Amino acid sequence: MIRNARARGIPILSGSDTGNASASTHGRWHGKEAELFVKEVGMTPMEAILANTSGNAAMVNLAGEVGVIALAKLADIVIWDSDPIADMTVLQRPEEISAIIKDGRIVDREGIAGFRELSEEPGRSRKFAYAS
């Protein structure tokens, strides 16, 4: 069904159920979705990455504001040791993350004892999710 929708020009995006506590924690399945977009839907690896980033931003009328790497834009960036274009499964391996940039600043993962589960979604995420 998703393959057919894509063939008809319907945008296919990632993460609509993210943060649904009964299904999964925030961000847990984005990497797997990207892999499935490539293997099952027929997207290129770059199309799958865009479905997780700038495609979602465009859908909520934030094209060019978030989901892009550009001067004076909100910068949340994850950098892996490996190339996700060559191997999409790297997006499912947080132990291979080499750097995170959050709101334009490099996250000191050593200083915060690595990654931790959030007790609730950050306020700015809600703001973007419900913007009209």
Of the two residues 84 and 18, the one the predictor is more confident about is 84
In whole angstroms, what is the distance from residue 35 CA to residue 92 CA? 9
Residue spans of beta strands (DSSP E) within 11-127: 77-80, 97-102, 105-106
| pLDDT tens digits, one per residue of 71-87 | 887 768 888 889 999 99
What are the boundaries of each domain within the chain?
2-129
pTM greater than 0.85:
no
In whole angstroms, what is the distance from residue 117 CA to residue 27 CA? 10
